[in-house]
Amino acid sequence: MPRSPRRHAAAPPEAQDAPDAAALEQPLEALETAVAPTDGDAIMAPSPDDLALLGRLFGRGQSVVEGEETEGSRSGFVALIGQPNVGKSTLLNALVGEKVAIVSPRPQTTRRRILGIRTEGPLQAVFIDTPGLHRPVHELGKSMVRAARAGIRDADVVVWVVDASHAPDAADAVTAGRVKRGARPVIVALNKADLLKPEDITARVAAYSALVDGAEWVLTIARTGHNVAILWSAIARLLPAHAALYDEDQLTDQSDRQFAAELIREAALMHLQEEVPHGLSVQIEDWKTREDGLVQIGAKIFVERQGHKAIVIGKGGQMLKTIGTAARKEIERNLDTRVFLELFVTVKPHWRRSSVEVQRLGFD
């Protein structure tokens, strides 16, 4: 039975502070105004279609746990797929209820398949957070795309996450084709719904729905948790009858070492210039737990160019210190103990283009 310790919730990095509540309230009010009936008769007697639409938009519905009876155990794999930077990892964390995947504004933050596990009574969903589907230009990119495609193949349910603020493009059409060929139940999560203009709601939903005929859809704001409960209900209804695949208190298949490496990379993504993060990887070299509970961690940050090494270290070592401090705080939250973190920067030229180096750094 796979097993890893239950993780403690980790606060989001300071660079990702939640937006002002008033800033979110305005677009949501505008959305509701746009779809709500305006004449007196309609307000007194809304149609079933109106109620269904409002329920999907604003969470007016029952969850499986609260409103529906389930017989026996249901468990399965749920793949979160989509283009880079649509919010898949943020949605994974919201669905699981704790931070199990790093997030950043950078595209292609997720590089390998990550499992996040949610168990509620007889229901267990094993979420597969996949790298964003894109056209690969090096061996690392090829590994990422293979992981994403495998997520569709291995899943019992597919959640196609899209950026609702943009109309579907050619890449979305390709993704939809892969989803349909997978012959799995599909839910379209139109994420970043707070960025969607009210007058575009109907056309945007219709455009994405047309690419995957018959798929259920939910408008979400993963960053704030909006409609995540409704999405969970839709997922739970589609889980196959099966005994739980993991222990009920397990939240991820990642080891503490793996997640620590990811948290270091997350801190680097948040603080470094645009050209550096894509060629950066982290490997834990040393891990010791002292008798007083302090965890000593030594990690290497790999970059592809000597100039990038200088940027990561910074003037007088200040950037490396900033990255280390941010990462240490996140690792301490995750492990619920004090951590001493030591970082080293090493140049490994063009490692992303070498299949040997990509595999050596832990990518499939």
Q: Give pLDDT tens digits for 331-351.
A: 999 999 999 999 999 988 876
pTM, rounded to two decimals: 0.73
> What is residue 15's predicted lDDT score, i.e. its pLDDT?
35
Mean pLDDT of 47-53: 51
> What is residue 241's predicted lDDT score, i.e. its pLDDT?
93
Mean pLDDT of 123-130: 87
> What is residue 20's predicted lDDT score, i.e. its pLDDT?
42
Has residue 4 got a pLDDT over 60?
no
CA distances from 337 to 244, 252, 264, 287, 340 (A): 30, 19, 17, 14, 10
Between 38 and 172, name the one with better pLDDT: 172
As given in the structure block, the two tokens for residue 246 are 């993991």
CA distances from 41 to 33, 46, 54, 60, 311 (A): 16, 8, 17, 21, 64
Give start-end residues of each CATH 3.30.300.20 domain in the chain: 256-360
DSSP classification of residue 20? P
Length of the chain in residues, anyone? 364
Say what angle helices 318-335 and 306-313 make with each other, to 10 degrees: 70
Has residue 49 got a pLDDT over 50?
yes
| Distance from C-alpha of 44 to C-alpha of 28, rounded to nearest angstrom | 22
> What is residue 213's predicted lDDT score, i.e. its pLDDT?
84
Q: Residue 344, CB half-sphere, CA atoms under 13 Å: how many?
A: 11
Sheet holding 157-163, edge to edge: 114-120, 123-129, 74-81, 157-163, 186-191, 216-219
Has residue 35 got a pLDDT over 50?
no
Given a contact cutoff of 8 angstroms between Cβ atoms, the answer to whether 326 and 320 are in contact is no
Say what angle helices 170-181 and 139-154 make with each other, to 10 degrees: 50
Tens of pLDDT along 174-207? 888 888 887 789 999 999 999 988 889 999 999 9
- 256-360: CATH superfamily: K homology (KH) domain (3.30.300.20)
> What is residue 215's predicted lDDT score, i.e. its pLDDT?
86
pLDDT band per the 50, 70, 90 thresholds, residue 66: very low
Give start-end residues of each CATH 3.40.50.300 domain in the chain: 14-238
- 14-238: CATH superfamily: P-loop containing nucleotide triphosphate hydrolases (3.40.50.300)
- Average pLDDT score over the chain: 76
- Among the residue ranges 60-74, 119-133, 283-297, the one predicted with the least confidence is 60-74
Q: Is 149 helix (H, G, I), strand (E, B) or coil?
A: helix
Helix ranges (DSSP H) in 212-353: 228-238, 256-271, 306-313, 318-335
Tens of pLDDT along 314-334? 999 999 999 999 999 999 999
Percent of the chain exceeding pLDDT 70 equals 66
